[in-house]
Every structure is written in C-alpha cells, then in structure tokens.
Amino acid sequence: MRFISLIMAALLATMPCVVGAQTTPGGPVTAPAAPMSAPQGGAAAAAGGADSAAPVLQDYKLGIADQVRLTVYNEPDLSGEFTVNASGLLSLPLIGDVSVLGDTASQVVSKVQQKLADGYLKDPHVSLEILTYRPFYIMGEVNKPGEYPYANGLTVLNAVAAAGGFTYRANKHNVFIRHAGSDKDEKMSIQPGLQIAPGDTIRIGERYF
Amino acid sequence: MIGRGMIRFSHVAAAAELLLLLCSAQSARAQMTTQVSQPVLDFDYSRGRNVSVTERPRPEYTSVGIPVGGFTLFPSLSLGAGYTDNSLETRLDTRSSAYFELGPDLRLVSNWSRNSLQVEANGQFRRYTETPVRNESAWNVFGSGRLNIGDDSTISASAATGQKYESRLSGGSPTDLASATPYDYSHGAIQGDTVLGRIKLTLTGSYTNTTFNSVQLTDEVTVDQRYRNNESYNLVGRAEYGLTPDVSTYVELSFDDSDYDRRYAQGLNFRNSREYRGLVGVSMDLTALVRGSAAIGYGSRRYQSALYDKVQGLSFEAHLEYFPSELTTVTFLGRRVIADASIPQSSGYFNTAGGVRVDHEFLRNLLANVGIDYEQDDYRGIESRSRIFLATGGARYLISRTVGIGASVAYGRRKNTGLDVGPSFNETSGLLSIYLQK
C-alpha cells in the first residue's frame, strides 16, 4: 500500500510537466499565451500618500537596478526574478544576456520571445512584471536627502514627505528634476499632482527671503 | 536667568558691533539704552515654538572648543578696523579718525548634565589714529553658576568685575568732554526660582559698585568724577502664573537702594535714593508668528537730599518678536525707567526708549540686521529734554567654525532741548572685523 502511494504521488507530480510543458527542441507543446502584465509598483515604502488607484506609468522604459519577474509559460527553470545590471542587461537562463536598457516592457517581452524561439522553444509565451523600480534621489533643502524606493504614482510632495519634509530654508514653489539619462535639470512648479519617474534626481532649492 | 549686569557702550560703532556679537551668541536684544545699569531680570518667554534668526543653532559654524576635563574652553579673538567722522563726539570741532580694535575672549563652560558653571574673561582695546585721547582699554571678568534643586528649582549666582566705558549718548558725560569716560564696576547677583504647578516664583538680589575715573575736557582740564561713584542694592521678585501653556501673566516688584560717596558731594548734592517699582505683565509665545513679554506699572524714586524732588510715574518694559517668516525676525523693544541725573540742578529723569530691529538670514552663514532705537530723557527739576537716535546696520559672514567676518555701520545723534544736559552731537561710523575662534 505504501509503495502504491508513492507511485501515485510521483505520477501526480509529473502531470503539469506533461500537460502543458514546453520541451527542449524536439517536441514543444504550446499553450495559450499568458497575458502580458502591465508594470506594477513594487516596494511602496516611499509612497505613503500614493493612491492605489493612481495612474500606471505608461511606456515606462527599463533602467539599471529595475527588478522584474519574467515568466515563461510552462518553463519554471526559465522563469524568475531578475535585476537589470549596471550594463543595462538582463542575464537570463538559456538565452544569456538581453539588452533591455531603454526598452518598454512589451519590447523586452518581444526580445525574449524572439531569442527563446530561436532554437530553444517553439512558440514561447513570456510575460514580464516590474517588481521594483529604480530608486529616486532627492537632495537640497529636505531634512533627509538620499535615495528612496520608488512607488507607482509618486509625486514630488510624496517624495519630499519621504525625505522628512522641507527644511526651513526650502523654496516650496519650484523644484529641479533631472531624469535618468539626462544631463539637464528641469525647473518645474511644485503642484500637488506633479509626478516623478524612477531614477529621477529631485533637487529642492533654497530661498533667500 | 541672571543678566550680565551692565552693558557697555563706548562708541556708536561699538554699539552696532556689540549688537552683532550679542546676536551671534544669544537672542537678539537691540541695545537701546544708554544707561550704565540694566534691569537684572531678563525676559524669558520662549516656549520652544519659535526660533529667532539669532537663536537658531548653526552647528556647522559653532566653535567646538577645547575639552578640559569636565569643561570646554572657548578662546576667541576679534580684530577690527573702523572709521568715524566724529571721534570726540562733540558738536563743534569734530575730528574724524580711523581706529583699530582688538578683542580677546576666553570662556570656560561646564559640560555637566545638571548644574552649570561658566567663567569668562575678555577685553576690548581700541586705538584711534588721530585722537589718541579717546583710546579705550576695557576688560571684564565674569563668572556664573547654576545649581539645580530637584526638577523645578534652581539657584543661580553671578559675579563680574572690570572696566567699561560710558557711551557719549548718555547724559552722564560733561558737554565738552574730550577723553572717553571709563568706570570700574563690580557686580554680584544671586537668584532663586521655583515652579509650583502653574506658578513660577523668581527672586533676585544684586549688588553693584561703580567707580568713575577722571576725564579730560577739550581744553585739557581734568575733571574728577568721583561724585558719581555709586553703590546700589537691588531686589526683584516676580510671580508668574501660567494661564495656558502659551500665555502667562506676572507681577514684578522691585526695590533699589542707591548710595553715592558723600565725600565728593558738595553740601546736600548727593543722590542717595530708594526706588520702588511694580509691574503687571503678560508673557506669551503665540502661534508661529509672535512671542514676547510686556509689562506696565508704576515707579517711584525718592532722594534723601532735600535738594532733589522725587521722580515717579508710569513705567513699562516690553520685548516682542515677530516672525514674518523663518528667515526673518523683527524685534520690538520698549522701556520706561527712572535714572539718576548727573547735573546738580536735577534729581533724575525718565528714560523712555523704543526700538525695532530686523534680523534676516540670507544664507545659513550670512546674517544681516538693521535697527533703529529712539530714546527720550525727561529731566525733573529743570526744563530739559534729550533725544537720542541710533540707526545701525550690519552683516556677519560665517566662513567656518573658526573664522568669520563682520561689518557694521551706525549713525547716532543726541540732541538737547532746553537746558543742555550732556553733549549734543551726531556721528557716523563703520567697522570691519574678523573673528577667530576655536
């Protein structure tokens, strides 16, 4: 009886691999493609005031230090959580490094699918989810300048609150934002809905009167 | 807190520079008095809600001192160069002159968690290039201590001695004075205060001895001023009741016994007197905009000599700070007190003064200020009124923990109507200084 139970357990464990498994060259089995998930906010420590219904970052382009979850349907060995390294590459199993710097999530999915289909899998189905965005940086006239985790929908005022609030010398009317990859600061008027993007460097200026 | 006793003014520009120096260490308190003596009880109305520009701590520019066991030693040195268009502070025969100042200071402060002890020695030496008769060499040694008794009571004591110079804006100086007016002083005070629920009680007793040195007139005649030598005993009691955490009312009663050296008085021409004063006031720290203390009452000074009439009337003290922003502090001062005259025809006078001062923080290490003081002295027994106007402006740039530079300009004017009491003159001066500290 005990021997029969063990046989049954082994059969049950192998069943998902048989039903929908993508196999190595020689016998792939396809399954309906899983829908690509839109980028979602990861750690929300800095988004104390961010609304859960806040608008999702559209056409977000991946950058260094973004953390993603890549799921290849029926291939658990090819799925997992990966971080964009300093070279802007995702190091994925089987297909190696994939350049993703500056690509949107859909572009990355297309690249990975193309590489997997090129001699490894037949009709691969890939989904990508952004777990954690690059941090943002805030400095100048805030009480605790530094690096903070980004959360979807974060505004400038949220960022200032995360950094301990304005100092007594802060200019509360204007802010200087430098986006990742840019070499110029953009001066903007601080409005309640002014959003920031991952990787932004925010500078709160000093007032003289 | 026990005040430091006498405040020194030797010169219009020195008055402005002293404002800057006081600014850097303690709360802004525009100096508008020309008296030798000051009220002994300081204003203490801060509840921790607001921080004035001069009170704000600047740890990046504060000297760290030299550790000496349970104390810290703070040495400092100031060097200044200035110019005045009326070095003799006279109406006629004005002479302009450059001058140089040297101000060494050594302060030893305890690091204890309870109780405290502080000893300080400093000097201020000024040398004029064109009028050396006005040279000054002031010095001061000061010590104070506080003993904490439980959580709600303290006993404080202080003692000071030194040589200072009387401001020419004061009516105490002869009209045709050429030299500065030095005086030696000794001052001791003891204060106890305790908090009983909503009531705070403060009692202060002090003793001051002032000895005036001889002075030289413009015609090189030496005048003996020992008739102004004075000993005074002062007792002040204050009871304060907290209506709310932000507002309290208080009653203050003071008694002053002043004795002059009769050996130098001519006949009945001595001014021994006793003064009683009562004030009722309010102390507040309201919102983020204003805080301060104001009191009004009555004072009466009676003289032993039959020659001199009593001086009595309205008395008030006010000190308000307004914060239009965190970078700007506006300070209003007002006072009406009784002082002894220095001319035989009059017993004393009412010193009524008001002032406003604006401190602004352009940068964390760049502070600027402007101020205006106005004072009116109304003499008893004679038809005489003196008006003193003082306008000051200055800036201080803190370069590092050890170095800073300062600049100040000042315009002072004294004018008499009726019988002349003291000089009439005006003076414009400026001073550039650098200070070094450890």
Residues of A in contact with B328 (CB under 8 A): 209
> Residue B36 corresponds to which tokens in the numbers above?
């030798």
What is the signed CA dihedral for A83, A85, A88, A94, rounded to 10 degrees? -70
- Over residues B278-335, the pLDDT tens digits come to 999 999 998 889 999 999 999 999 999 888 889 999 999 999 999 999 999 999 999 9
Average pLDDT of the residues in B170-184:
81
The label of the residue with tokens 């002062």 reads B234
Q: Is residue B132 helix, strand or coil?
A: helix
**Which of A24-28, B236-240, B339-343 bottoms out in mean pLDDT, i.e. has the lowest?**
A24-28
Give the minimum alpha-carbon distance from A141 to chain B in angstroms, rounded to a whole number. 12
CB B380, CB B351: distance < 8 Å: no
Residues of B in contact with A165 (CB under 8 A): none
Closest Cα in chain A to B326: A168
Predicted confidence at residue A157, as pLDDT, reads 96
Instruction: Identify which of A111-115, B38-42, B225-229 has the greatest average pLDDT.
Output: A111-115
Going by C-alpha positions, the residue among B7, B320, B309, B397 that lies closest to residue B169 is B7
Q: Is A172 on the interface with B (CB under 8 A)?
A: no
Q: Is A209 on the interface with B (CB under 8 A)?
A: yes
Predicted confidence at residue A177, as pLDDT, reads 97
Average pLDDT of the residues in B17-27:
35
Query: Most A CBs within 10 Å: which of B361, B365, B366, as the mutation test of the A interface?
Result: B361
Going by C-alpha positions, the residue among A202, A91, A106 that lies closest to residue A147 is A202
The CA distance from B371 to B397, in Å, is 18
Q: Is pLDDT larger for residue B344 or for residue B353?
A: B353
CB contact under 8 Å between B326 and A207, yes or no, is: no
- Over residues B85-137, the pLDDT tens digits come to 999 888 888 899 999 999 999 999 999 999 999 999 999 999 999 999 999 99
Average pLDDT of the residues in B267-278:
85
Going by C-alpha positions, the residue among B35, B3, B29 that lies closest to residue B158 is B3
At residue B3, what are phi and psi to the nearest 5 degrees?
Answer: -70, 170
Q: Is residue B34 helix, strand or coil?
A: coil
Q: Is pLDDT larger for residue B174 or for residue A100?
A: A100
Q: Are strands A89-92 and A96-99 parallel, antiparallel or unpaired?
A: antiparallel
Residues of A in contact with B360 (CB under 8 A): 209
Q: Would you place residue B244 in the very low, low, confident or very high pLDDT band (cuts 50, 70, 90)?
A: very high
Distances (CA, A) of B1 to A34, A35, B41, B244: 76, 74, 7, 22
DSSP string, chain A: -HHHHHHHHHHHHHHHHHHHPPPSTT-----PPPPPPPP-----TT-TT--TTPPPPTTPBP-TT-EEEEEETT-TTT-EEEE--TTSEEEETTTEEEE-TT-BHHHHHHHHHHHHHTTT-SS--EEEEEEEPPPEEEEESBSS-EEE---TT-BHHHHHHHTT-B-TTEEEEEEEEE-TT--S-EEEE--TT-B--TT-EEEEEE---
Predicted confidence at residue B268, as pLDDT, reads 63
CB contact under 8 Å between B363 and A208, yes or no, is: yes
**Which of A59-63, B15-19, B225-229 bottoms out in mean pLDDT, i.e. has the lowest?**
B15-19
Predicted confidence at residue A41, as pLDDT, reads 38
> Residue B92 corresponds to which tokens in the numbers above?
């006629």
User: Could you tell me the end-to-end alpha-carbon distance of chain B, in angstroms, rounded to an integer?
Assistant: 26
Residue B127 CA from chain centroid, whole number: 23
**Which of A146-155, B204-213, B257-266, B351-360 bottoms out in mean pLDDT, i.e. has the lowest?**
B257-266
Predicted confidence at residue B6, as pLDDT, reads 31
* Average pLDDT over chain B, rounded to an integer: 87
Going by C-alpha positions, the residue among B152, B204, B187, B161 that lies closest to residue B41 is B204
Query: Most A CBs within 10 Å: which of B364, B365, B366, B367, as the mutation test of the A interface?
Result: B364
Closest Cα in chain A to B328: A209
For residue B63, pLDDT over 70 is answered with yes
The CA distance from A70 to B420, in Å, is 96
Q: Would you place residue B43 in the very low, low, confident or very high pLDDT band (cuts 50, 70, 90)?
A: low
Predicted confidence at residue B180, as pLDDT, reads 85
Q: Is pLDDT larger for residue A38 or for residue B62?
A: B62
Q: Is pLDDT larger for residue B322 or for residue B270?
A: B322
Q: Is A207 on the interface with B (CB under 8 A)?
A: yes
Average pLDDT of the residues in B136-145:
97
Predicted confidence at residue B35, as pLDDT, reads 47
Cβ under 8 Å to A: B residues 315-344: 325-328
The CA distance from B173 to B168, in Å, is 6
The CA distance from B30 to B52, in Å, is 13
For residue B10, pLDDT over 70 is answered with no
The CA distance from B38 to B437, in Å, is 29
Predicted confidence at residue A5, as pLDDT, reads 52
Query: Most B CBs within 10 Å: which of A141, A166, A168, as the mutation test of the B interface?
Result: A168
CB A61, CB A104: distance < 8 Å: yes
The label of the residue with tokens 């999702």 reads A56
Q: Would you place residue A6 in the very low, low, confident or very high pLDDT band (cuts 50, 70, 90)?
A: low
- Over residues B354-391, the pLDDT tens digits come to 999 999 999 999 999 999 999 999 999 889 999 999 99
Residue type, B239: A
Cβ under 8 Å to A: B residues 362-401: 362-364
**Which of A187-196, B36-45, B125-134 bottoms out in mean pLDDT, i.e. has the lowest?**
B36-45
Q: State the complex-level ipTM.
A: 0.78
Predicted confidence at residue B48, as pLDDT, reads 73
**Portion of chain B with pLDDT greater than 70, in percent:** 89
Q: Would you place residue A63 in the very low, low, confident or very high pLDDT band (cuts 50, 70, 90)?
A: confident
Neighbours of A83 (CB within 10 A): 14
